[in-house]
Amino acid sequence: MLSVLRVHLPSDIPIVGCELTPYVLLRRPDKTVTTDDVTDSAPLDGHFLRYKWYRIQSDKKVAVCSVHPSEQATLQCLGCVKAKIPVAKSYHCSPKCFSDAWQHHRVLHDRAASAVNENGTEEEELFGRFNSTASGVVNTSLSGSASSANLTNGSASLYPAAVTQRSGGETWFEVGRYKTYTPTADDIGHVLKFECVVVDAETKLTVGHPSTLLTSRVIPAPSPSPRRLIPVSGVDVMGHLDSDGRISSSGTFTVLSYNILSDVYATSESYSYCPSWALSWPYRRQNLLREIVGYRADIVCLQEVQSDHFEEFFSPELEKHGYQALYKRKTNEVHSGNSHSIDGCATFFRRDRFSHVKKYEVEFNKAAQSLTDVILPTAQKKNALNRLVKDNVALIVVLEAKFSNQGADNPGKRQLLCVANTHVNVHQELKDVKLWQVHTLLKGLEKIASSADIPMLVCGDFNSIPGSAPHALLAMGKVDPLHPDLVVDPIGILRPPTKLTHQLPLVSAYSSFARIGVGLGLEQQRRRMDPSTNEPLFTNCTRDFIGTLDYIFYTADSLTVESLLELLDEDSLRKDTALPSPEWSSDHIALLAEFRCKPRPRR
């Protein structure tokens, strides 16, 4: 007969919006062991499994610590209450917790005070939108795709949850009838109970005792602090919120570039400082989606997107928000694991703002094969390919704008835009390979530029710090022949250095923070820039490395930067040691720029 051997929950802490799927080990009638589900629609030997989830609600209300969300709160900051800061931010589990967090906690007081002084009340803008819960704890609302519409936890007749039983000051509410359950805001601060039992398919009676497990208390999903768009083209050019809350002004568009940290790389060995629940993919994917959707960018360039996550999550979820998706998976000549876990570059664009014209895929492996065929004798080709073949790719998309800024004197002119999205090789010892990949991409973009009068954006994780040879090539159009990076060239792919040029007038979007004068919020952003390179101090922050690896470059003859997403402060990230953290779910930060197409002269 079918029997349950064990139930186990992989995730140690349940989080609002992150689905829970217990591991259920079964013994079949033939004595073999399986983890396959056995449903009432496909019973096994006349039996199937029935699942139930309960919320155990104590008569005593429970608050959760804002710093250590797995701990129960024992004190509350009255300054937060007085300043009307969302109540979830005010709870702490111990006096030591409160004193250790004070340096960062006091910023909430300062921001609340300045917001009241400037605008009366800016609570929603500063802290996001919050839903109160019965327990007195506050939880950040999920984006549309992760909201209640997507929390299918069982029969609709169960809502509102029915009281199942009551004992010893506790009430059990039945909240789900599927194997998988997604905690809601109502569950915050409460323990969940999972129950699995074998049922006779004919009589519908249970067989044997149910197998159960209890979770830790459900915690709210930590919400990233909102990041503002800072105008850089003059304080008089301010974007406005359109009907769906997206910042825009006539004829402008926004572009996001973000390395989201592939799940296959997000290991506890690499990021031991990040709590395991915050490193888990069910948590990170919802937090990343919430962040990405919140930026409401017209074009989204993501790197390190696993192919299965693109197909099963990001593509369908972002489609709900009006995006069309394009994807280029890395080639897998080097990769030896599961092909579904290979990552790649994903580009999304809003269908109401752009239409798709053309797509180009750049496989640096193929370019390496072509290069070695031309410049190297057969005997040297194997060593050269071993060095050059690293599976990296780029995705180039040509879009047509559905908006216009050409004016009445130039009606009907098509506004095209070329967007390149890439992830350059990570290995620091392969400086020649990095530079060759960037040069190969730029030569491909030059060919597109020569065939069409088209503004260009080059986005991605270039794994190259400011001042490196790849950065110099992008920003300056050439590399100094005496650049130290050129010393590493064992197979001669960089010679002569004079060939390392391109004609695209590329400028780094974030260098605008260093070039502009005084203005609202600009001084703070300038302090987050490196004055020697005119680039951000960092876009990647781990325990072992901090520096800039990500960029958005644009052709300055055809585009102007209107505003930039504010940079993050290192001190605010170090409260969680580094990235990723419960608040930010990648080891990189997102970059976003608002552009305007320059009117083209009439020909």
Nearest to 558 by CA among 430, 405, 427: 405
- Among 238-242, 264-268, 472-476, the range scoring the smallest mean pLDDT is 238-242
Return the pLDDT at 125.
34
At 212-262, the pLDDT tens digits run 999 999 988 887 778 999 999 853 333 333 334 444 455 899 999 999 999
- Among 35-39, 199-203, 214-218, 336-340, the range scoring the smallest mean pLDDT is 336-340
DSSP, residue by residue, 68-112 = STTSB--EE-HHHHHTT--GGGGEESSHHHHHHHHHHHHHHHHHH
Which range, 76-90, 325-339, 450-464, is most confident? 450-464
Please say if the pLDDT value at position 131 is more than 90: no
Cβ burial, residue 294 (10 Å; 0-12/13-18/19+)? middle
pLDDT band of residue 107 (cuts 50, 70, 90) is confident
CB of 417 closer than 8 Å to CB of 397: no
Q: What is the mean pLDDT of residues 473-478?
A: 98
Q: What is the mean pLDDT of residues 462-467?
A: 98
Return the pLDDT at 409.
45
Return the pLDDT at 169.
76
Using omega within 30 degrees of 0 as the cis cutoff, is the peptide bond preceding 580 cis? yes
At 382-424, the pLDDT tens digits run 999 999 999 999 999 999 999 876 544 455 678 999 999 999 9
Residues ≥6 apart with Cβ < 8 Å to 71: 64, 65, 93, 97
- Stronger pLDDT, 603 or 91, i.e. the higher one: 91
Please say if the pLDDT value at position 556 is more than 70: yes
Please say if the pLDDT value at position 535 is more than 70: yes
Return the pLDDT at 82.
87
Query: Is the CA virtual torsion 278, 284, 289, 295 positive or negative?
Result: positive
Q: What residue type is 517 in one-letter code?
A: G
Q: What is the mean pLDDT of residues 330-334?
A: 83
Q: Which two tokens stand for residue 237?
A: 């050019």
Nearest to 591 by CA among 543, 554, 542: 554
What are the start-end ranges of the E strands in 157-270?
A: 162-167, 170-176, 191-200, 206-217, 229-231, 240-241, 247-248, 252-259
DSSP, residue by residue, 499-525 = G-B----EEEGGGHHHHS-S-TTHHHH
CB of 175 closer than 8 Å to CB of 161: yes
Which helix (DSSP H) or strand (DSSP E) does residue 571 occupy? helix 570-574
At 361-377, the pLDDT tens digits run 999 999 999 999 887 77
Q: Which ranges constitute the DSSP H helices of 296-363? A: 307-309, 315-319
The CA distance from 534 to 512, in Å, is 8
Please say if the pLDDT value at position 114 is more than 90: no
- Stronger pLDDT, 205 or 59, i.e. the higher one: 205
Q: Which two tokens stand for residue 452?
A: 């069409």
CB of 397 closer than 8 Å to CB of 435: no
Please say if the pLDDT value at position 202 is more than 50: yes
Q: Per DSSP, what are the bridge partners of residue 12? A: none
CB of 477 closer than 8 Å to CB of 501: yes
- CATH class, domain 229-234+247-597, is alpha beta
- Stronger pLDDT, 279 or 89, i.e. the higher one: 279
Domain range annotation of the chain:
3-60+169-218, 229-234+247-597
Please say if the pLDDT value at position 127 is more than 50: no
Return the pLDDT at 166.
72
Return the pLDDT at 144.
35
Q: What residue type is 63 in one-letter code?
A: A
Secondary structure percentages of the chain, helix, strand, coil, to 5:
25, 30, 40
At 45-70, the pLDDT tens digits run 999 999 999 999 876 777 878 887 77
Which helix (DSSP H) or strand (DSSP E) does residue 379 occupy? helix 378-388
Which helix (DSSP H) or strand (DSSP E) does residue 4 occupy? strand 3-8
CB of 140 closer than 8 Å to CB of 87: no
Q: Which two tokens stand for residue 374?
A: 């031309």
DSSP, residue by residue, 231-244 = E-S-TT---EE-TT
CB of 23 closer than 8 Å to CB of 4: no
Return the pLDDT at 158.
40
Please say if the pLDDT value at position 151 is more than 60: no
Residues ≥6 apart with Cβ < 8 Å to 45: 1, 2, 28, 29
Cβ burial, residue 42 (10 Å; 0-12/13-18/19+)? exposed
- In order of 421, 479, 480, 495, 508, the CA distances from 476 in angstroms are 20, 8, 10, 18, 10
Nearest to 386 by CA among 430, 443, 343: 430
What are the start-end ranges of the E strands in 262-403?
A: 299-306, 323-329, 343-350, 354-363, 393-401
The pTM of this model reads 0.82
Return the pLDDT at 602.
57
Please say if the pLDDT value at position 183 is more than 90: yes
Question: Can you give 427-456 as a three-state secondary structure string?
Answer: CCCCHHHHHHHHHHHHHHHHHHHHHCCCCE
Out of 3.90.79.10, 3.30.1370.10, 2.60.40.2700, 3.30.365.10, select the CATH number for domain 3-60+169-218: 2.60.40.2700
Which conformational region is residue 66 in: left (phi greater than 0), alpha (psi within -120 to 50 degrees), or beta? alpha
At 190-199, the pLDDT tens digits run 999 999 999 9
Q: Which two tokens stand for residue 147?
A: 């909201």
The CA distance from 204 to 185, in Å, is 33
Q: What residue type is 141 in one-letter code?
A: S
pLDDT band of residue 137 (cuts 50, 70, 90) is very low
The CA distance from 439 to 437, in Å, is 5
pLDDT band of residue 122 (cuts 50, 70, 90) is very low
Q: What is the mean pLDDT of residues 23-41?
A: 95
What DSSP character marks residue 11?
-
Q: What is the mean pLDDT of residues 522-527?
A: 88
- Stronger pLDDT, 71 or 549, i.e. the higher one: 549
CB of 262 closer than 8 Å to CB of 304: yes
Identify the residue whose tokens are 């402008």: 252
- Among 515-519, 566-570, 571-575, the range scoring the smallest mean pLDDT is 515-519
Please say if the pLDDT value at position 308 is more than 50: yes
Return the pLDDT at 85.
85
Return the pLDDT at 337.
67
Return the pLDDT at 219.
87
Return the pLDDT at 220.
86
Residues ≥6 apart with Cβ < 8 Å to 47: 1, 2, 38, 198, 199, 200, 201, 207
Q: Indicate the average pLDDT of the chain.
A: 86
What DSSP character marks residue 221?
P
Which helix (DSSP H) or strand (DSSP E) does residue 388 occupy? helix 378-388
Return the pLDDT at 112.
77
